[in-house]
Chain A
Amino acid sequence: MLEKKEKLTLVVLSGDMDKVMASYIIASGAAASGMEVVMFFTFWGLKAIQRDGVFTGKGLFGRMLGVMNRGGLNAIGPSRLNMGGMGRWMFKLIMKQKGVTQLPELRQAAIDLGVKLMPCQMSMDVMEINCDHLIPETTEPVGVATMLEHAKESSIQFFI
């Protein structure tokens, strides 16, 4: 009997450490539970699939954004109590002490389990982020229709 896999679609709008973490935990947990998982990264969420240490932007605005809004899993801070980076440092330390799996390893687990990472083309244009700024495991950039097609086939859809 050919079984159809259950499917989960996640729209990741947030680029905050805590929300990105929740996204990757849900994605890897679902993939581990046998679901097909699609993650659609839009706006701030693109930071979750940006390579570490690269500066984005071409024009003045884009470059300013790239500097003030650094992407990559090591650069992103919590949505509350970041206090200019102190919060990020503190949370990382606490999570390390408690043995919580760190973001890069979580994302890798998701990738290894076959989770698809889809960047939003329009957000990439707005923020002047190109494919070279993203980790190589991402798919080609897509638009809302692609996300909706996946969401329609999914039994669970999350917007984070």
Chain B
Amino acid sequence: MTDNPKLSLDFKGLLCPMPVVKIAQAMKQIQIGELVEAVATDPGVMADIPAWARSTGHELVTLEKQDKVFKFVVKRMK
């Protein structure tokens, strides 16, 4: 299944805890199985988004650094 993200979010300039807060809010806007993609500039997301995914049970599909931004895709699991 190669889904396109349902939502595309821009977290550039946001610092802790807002990327985690915003991704959690985004989960409420999509259905189970759908994807959200986001870009952030806070290096903290490299640790925090995986931790958030482990805590909540949502799936972190990808997380990568591209130049100075961090891109990640999350799948709503429940």
Q: Which residues of A contact B (CB under 8 A)?
A: 25, 28-29, 31-35, 98-101, 106, 109, 112-113
Partner of A99, one of B14, B25, B52, B55: B14
Interface positions, chain B 48-62, Cβ under 8 Å from A, are 51-52, 55-57
Main secondary structure on B side of the interface with A: helix
| Contacting residues, chain B, for A109 (C-beta < 8 A) | 17-18, 21
Contact B24 A33 (CB under 8 A): yes
Docked CA distance A100–B14 (Å): 7
Please report the total number of B residues contacting A with Cβ < 8 Å: 16
CB distance from A75 to the nearest CB of B (A): 23
Contact A29 B20 (CB under 8 A): yes
| Contacting residues, chain A, for B16 (C-beta < 8 A) | 25, 29
Contact A33 B15 (CB under 8 A): no
Query: Chain B: which residue is nearest A101 at the CB level?
Result: B18
Q: Is B23 an interface residue (CB 8 A)?
A: yes
Contact B25 A112 (CB under 8 A): yes
Q: Mark B29-65, 1 if CB is under 8 A from A, else 0.
A: 0000000000000000000000110011100000000
Query: Chain B: which residue is nearest A31 at the CB level?
Result: B24
Contact A101 B15 (CB under 8 A): yes
Contact B13 A99 (CB under 8 A): yes
